Amino acid sequence: MTPDEYCTHKVGSAGSSFYYSFLFLSRAKRRAITALYAFCREIDDIVDECSDAQVAHTKLAWWREEIDRTFRGQPNHPVSRALNPAIEHYGLPRAQFLEIIDGMQMDIEQTRYASFAELKVYCHRVASVVGLLSAAIFGYRNERTAAFARNLGLAFQLTNIIRDVGEDARRNRIYLPLEDLLHFGVEPMEILTGQGGANFHALMEFEAQRAGRFYEEAMQNLVVDDRADQIPSLIMAAIYRATLDEIGAANYPVLRARVSLTPLRKFWIAWKTQRRELRLAKGAA
């Protein structure tokens, strides 16, 4: 298996919504973005699969060293070997890869977040930084598009947090800010035991509205000149926003079930978004 095949398998087997946004890219950009997301999956799997914190720390330390080797042109891992040409071609910064690892390290060391300000640091590291690297691969000219990528990353991660409340609780994790729980009168134990009532529903509506504001702020920063290049990001945004809407329409059953879109619906959204954006780009030309 080649490094590129390894990355394609890693991303495809994860069932990620991001996969559908890669389908309409050029071959070179698809290879680069697939390698980036395979890297993210490798790091994320360490946190999800290692029950021993010391083992997880050791593996993340290895990846820090591997990033250093990769930026010296000496990668060992299949993902790093696939990333190497993309790093050089798109000028991807070493510091941003290390920042993603910093975010995953937070997952090992922290299971609660006192405030949204604290949670936002985590979201930036594990999602907004990935958004910035992705935007660099897709291509942009206006610096406002970096703000688009940062805010979209926050929106995606907040959507994930809302969707996965129950799954995270079963791992003794609560990403929802404790200050929000206090404000809505929700005890952490209610979440850990899956007992959500009217107060929990109000909390979820608040969190969904917050995520929605980040989607809106992201779109306000995407200038016309960069829309065509950022079609993959817009496809991701459409799929994630539809997922958030679906969760709300189902009255936030997130403590008991994981709401997700079918692969067919994700493909349909991706195709529609791509067609719409190409028409807009043609009209603006």
pLDDT tens digits along 69-80: 999 999 999 999
**Per-residue model confidence (pLDDT) at position 285:** 55
Three-state DSSP class for residue 112: strand
**Per-residue model confidence (pLDDT) at position 241:** 97
Residue pair 25/229 in contact (Cβ under 8 Å)? The answer is no
pTM above 0.75, yes or no: yes
**Per-residue model confidence (pLDDT) at position 48:** 78
pLDDT digits (tens, 9 = 90+) for 123-132: 999 999 999 9
- As a whole number, the mean pLDDT across the chain is 92
79: nearest Cα among 35, 46, 29, 13? 35
**Per-residue model confidence (pLDDT) at position 24:** 80
CA–CA dist 66, 52 (Å, integer): 21
133's tokens: 């690297």
Mean pLDDT of 239-255: 96
Mean pLDDT of 13-18: 63
**Per-residue model confidence (pLDDT) at position 13:** 60
| pLDDT surpasses 90 at 278 | no
pLDDT digits (tens, 9 = 90+) for 86-120: 999 999 999 999 999 999 999 999 999 999 999 99
Residue pair 84/68 in contact (Cβ under 8 Å)? The answer is no
**Per-residue model confidence (pLDDT) at position 16:** 67
75: nearest Cα among 19, 35, 22, 37? 35
Q: How many CA atoms lie within 13 A of 42 on its CB side?
A: 24
Lowest mean pLDDT, pick from 74-83, 158-167, 230-239, 272-281: 272-281
Confidence of residue 15 (pLDDT cuts 50, 70, 90): low
Percent residues over pLDDT 90 in the chain: 79
Three-state DSSP class for residue 174: strand
